[in-house]
Structure 1
């Protein structure tokens, strides 16, 4: 399936042209190693997950179980626990026996810790698919997240409220001393106030917040806004499912909610009609119906289900239930406060782990030259205007190759050119191999965020948070002015970079006639590349011998004193010979 465009998230002001040049070397993906995880995280059946964190830091997730083959096969709310949102352990079932107020399957649980107890709201869907029975929502409580949960019966069923549609998909919000329950299933998303013990509702408090396009709601507050995450489309048609997540926000819990296009969410009455915040990609299908949690480093995470087309389409041999597996993806936030789930609004195959921002920084904040590990050339720009493309340059002189590197709370970095004060990004949020890397005013989208991943020997790769691909020198070129693009990580030296601090000292001038300014290929503060061709080789030994008495070298002895004796002499020449040999 085609990947949805991320341009709607970035905005029209950031539109430019993507590069199409090829990379040398294989394009096959390489496992990312420490600091990354891989989706899906649990399966083949963990649908409609809800997540809540205990005081000891453990995350607990709960899900529907939709086995229709035999009543005895159905799990009564399967539970998982995790110390890190990535490694999940099965913990059994929330109920020891089926709630008895109707013979139904337990769907779409919603779990919160409230007033000293763990509270589980759940949907009951009649096992005869509604013939003569009504769908409804019940409530149960437990003293610990792993239960056992004591059922307190139904809150209400279809005939007991004034709205149409099935009474499923509860979501609980406690705000300013008032408990609210939201629910709905493609007939509108509704709410009602609950009594203080959460066992009943206040019948004069019914209301609606969004239109009939949605189910599987999640509602939370962030930075002055209430956000509504709703699922729309077909959830359960296997690999042909059209499920996706759309988002609205409001200044008040009860609305009015508007989506990113400014459309009132009450007017969204068609499947997949609004801006997509999480949709299909070429591998993963039908993402949706999840929950939001916050990690210790302040990053937001969406826990949801989706299909993996490289895995099963159905969870068992009977052709049912559909194999909706557990996924987790980070929610990034643009500068104007809109979420981008997974970096590019599609599920991630691999992604940086939660709480990465609490790990030690691979590179300290500061001003750097970013040096290509293959050629020794410097990351720079082919112009000073917004939209100028990133290139590599032979010389390290001038602010155009100096980058202010700052780390965000989630562990990713922003690289801003000190000359232009513009941020390094992949053009247009493009996720394809060969997309151009350029500069643009900072707007906070993941396409301007980079994970700096240590790769040994003082080298790093730059992983784009939007695409998951790395910055590289196109075609593994060693030429001055070669373009910088993104490509799938293939371990090439042209995909590795060194961060060389800019210490403010004067750079040594060119050595000899018709030479470029020297460079420091290994970033150790010594200039082994005397002729500025991007690498230290035998020609530099010759240049050293021919010019060691010239002021260009003697006046800058600290740049060429390889053996540390304080002067430029034959001992340094021998040392340089050993370095290039």
Structure 2
């Protein structure tokens, strides 16, 4: 540890993490390795909610309280395997049942894959705007069509094309319908600008004389959301479809006017962004769940708001039968100073309290330590567990130091569902580990990239005084400040449990 304790400035994602968790005043992101769509129990659910291929989810609630979700199932390699908009239903937003396909036959106004459905209940019928893209070997243009049904289960009757690239010049997919002040509108756009225009009363056509551009070329997959006098434009940016390398994420702008300008948290008009991932993300992927975006917002009975979206799952192969499988995810939206915070710190949760549980952002409701983002202080010295010199390199040493307010002193606690946790450093993203995976007493603690190793897994054992000991899963030894030092820079090692204050740690939510 150098005397000047050189800590770099936090990046914008670190700032977001601090804003989200700190301003909410609870523990930050929830996380655990979960089993996908299965076995949600008690007061918590696990992401993914549904593991079959289900990109671009859209959701709407029926009058009887049932939620209906619609997704893409485009298969670029084998069209015979393609589902014509798969449909799911749920009574609790957590457990989803497959209900079949929205269409009996392929919409026929042009060849192509049906994707990015947008679903609403309007004028006593279920309406679906959908995108249609010609496959590489087919002719035709990109465009948006309309279909309707008397029931959410369908089948939907196709009414053909509403708008296409010939009308707009390009990027004419990813529709989002809004009724505003009694007039129907349609948002659309994919990396050639986001636009909004009036629909005709029968919804069959767009009045191109009313077109307004509301965001630049960096975006697609729009959501319009109204809250507390503001119009919010959630927009997807980055690469959606490159498997685990995808950079898809959500950014957001808000405006007092439906027609914009929509500005982000930095005061920048979304019209100014023309390249991927330029603005401040409100949801960005993790190593576990990369490519997180393109979804829809719904409200639960208690007034809480939830984002359903898609992401990849690192536990899956990148491609299933040639198709990059994207799975159904969900996270709560909290609002801090008028801005959305998704998943408590802007990243996908691996486990979270169910809607209606009355708890969120790390609060289990039973007084136990839950997953979240924490600063961890030693009971003996009062100093914080950190990575020395804010080093981001593999194998950098972990020690204790006075509070600097830097993310290198923050740790994301992620539950694995088997009684163990991992601790990821807020600055480097690496995991608290034992040097060389050693099981020897006195081995130093370091940071390494998460590799599912036993020496990277920790048991948290609470004492009556509220402190915790961190017991390593591989060695059975606990995290210990060397020689019970109270000095800045003292090494943290593993040692047999002796009950000393230098082996006791306090977790304070960021």
TM-score, normalization: structure 2?
Answer: 0.67
Q: Which whole-Å CA distance do the structure 1 matches of 2:55 and 2:303 have between them?
A: 26
Q: 1:223 aligns with which of 225, 228, 232?
A: 228
Q: 1:149 aligns with which of 145, 156, 169?
A: 156
Report if aligned partners of 2:18, 2:345 keep a CA contact under 8 Å in 1: no
2:470 corresponds to 1:492: no
Aligned to 1:170: 175
2:13 is paired with a residue whose SS is: coil
Aligned to 1:403: none
Q: 2:122 aligns with which of 114, 117, 122?
A: 114
Q: Which whole-Å CA distance do the structure 1 matches of 2:315 and 2:326 have between them?
A: 13
Deviation digits for residues 373-403 of structure 1 (CA, Å, limit 9, x no counterpart): xxxxxxxxxxxxxxx998989xxxxxxxxxx
Report if aligned partners of 2:376, 2:411 keep a CA contact under 8 Å in 1: no
Q: 2:61 aligns with which of 44, 53, 61?
A: 53
Offset of residue 176 of structure 1: 0.5
Given the superposition, is the C-alpha separation of residues 112 and 29 from structure 1 closer, same or farther in structure 2, using an over 3 Å criterion?
closer
Report if aligned partners of 2:171, 2:193 keep a CA contact under 8 Å in 1: no
Offset of residue 159 of structure 1: 1.0
Aligned to 2:419: none
1:5 is paired with a residue whose SS is: helix
Deviation digits for residues 96-136 of structure 1 (CA, Å, limit 9, x no counterpart): 0011100111010000011111100000101236x642111
Report if aligned partners of 1:291, 1:304 keep a CA contact under 8 Å in 2: yes
1:181 is paired with a residue whose SS is: strand
Deviation digits for residues 478-521 of structure 1 (CA, Å, limit 9, x no counterpart): xxxxxxxxx998452339969xxxxxxxxxxxxxxxxxxxxxxx
Q: Which whole-Å CA distance do the structure 2 matches of 1:117 and 1:496 have between them?
A: 59
Give the number of the structure whose alpha-carbon radius of gyration is greater: 1
Offset of residue 232 of structure 1: 0.6
2:63 corresponds to 1:94: no
Given the superposition, is the C-alpha separation of residues 155 and 208 from structure 1 closer, same or farther in structure 2, using an over 3 Å criterion?
same
Q: Which whole-Å CA distance do the structure 1 matches of 2:412 and 2:208 have between them?
A: 58
Q: Which whole-Å CA distance do the structure 1 matches of 2:227 and 2:189 have between them?
A: 23
Segments of 4+ in structure 1 off by > 3 A? 8-12, 27-33, 361-364, 388-393, 427-435, 487-491, 494-498
Q: Which whole-Å CA distance do the structure 1 matches of 2:283 and 2:17 have between them?
A: 11
Q: Which whole-Å CA distance do the structure 1 matches of 2:464 and 2:155 have between them?
A: 52
Aligned to 1:19: none
Deviation digits for residues 137-181 of structure 1 (CA, Å, limit 9, x no counterpart): 1101111111111111110211123xx322100000101001000
Given the superposition, is the C-alpha separation of residues 116 and 259 from structure 1 closer, same or farther in structure 2, using an over 3 Å criterion?
same
Given the superposition, is the C-alpha separation of residues 30 and 431 from structure 1 closer, same or farther in structure 2, using an over 3 Å criterion?
farther
Offset of residue 68 of structure 1: 2.3
Report if aligned partners of 1:28, 1:488 keep a CA contact under 8 Å in 2: no
User: Which structure 1 segments of 5+ residues have no match?
Assistant: 16-26, 365-369, 373-387, 394-426, 436-465, 467-486, 499-533, 535-581
Offset of residue 333 of structure 1: 1.1
2:329 corresponds to 1:324: no
Given the superposition, is the C-alpha separation of residues 85 and 432 from structure 1 closer, same or farther in structure 2, using an over 3 Å criterion?
farther
User: Any residues of structure 2 matched to 1:179-198 within 5 Å, and which?
Assistant: 179-198=184-203
User: Any residues of structure 2 matched to 1:515-554 within 5 Å, and which?
Assistant: none
2:243 corresponds to 1:241: no
Aligned to 1:478: none
User: Which structure 2 segments of 5+ residues have no match?
Assistant: 1-9, 24-30, 370-374, 381-404, 414-425, 427-455, 468-500, 502-510
| Structure ranking higher on relative contact order (CA contacts 8 Å, 6+ apart) | 2
Report if aligned partners of 1:28, 1:489 keep a CA contact under 8 Å in 2: no
Aligned to 2:81: 73
Q: 2:269 aligns with which of 264, 270, 274?
A: 264
Report if aligned partners of 1:215, 1:231 keep a CA contact under 8 Å in 2: yes
Offset of residue 222 of structure 1: 0.7
**What is the aligned-residue RMSD (CA, Å)?**
3.7
Report if aligned partners of 1:258, 1:264 keep a CA contact under 8 Å in 2: yes
2:318 corresponds to 1:313: yes
Aligned to 1:458: none
User: Any residues of structure 2 matched to 1:410-559 within 5 Å, and which?
Assistant: 432-433=410-411, 490=459, 492-494=461-463
1:204 is paired with a residue whose SS is: helix
Q: Which whole-Å CA distance do the structure 1 matches of 2:197 and 2:66 have between them?
A: 30
Deviation digits for residues 58-110 of structure 1 (CA, Å, limit 9, x no counterpart): 11110111112333221100011111111111000000001110011101000
Offset of residue 312 of structure 1: 2.4
Q: Which whole-Å CA distance do the structure 2 matches of 1:287 and 1:495 have between them?
A: 40
2:80 is paired with a residue whose SS is: helix
1:266 is paired with a residue whose SS is: helix
Aligned to 2:147: 140
TM-score, normalization: structure 1?
Answer: 0.59
2:53 is paired with a residue whose SS is: coil
Report if aligned partners of 2:32, 2:349 keep a CA contact under 8 Å in 1: no
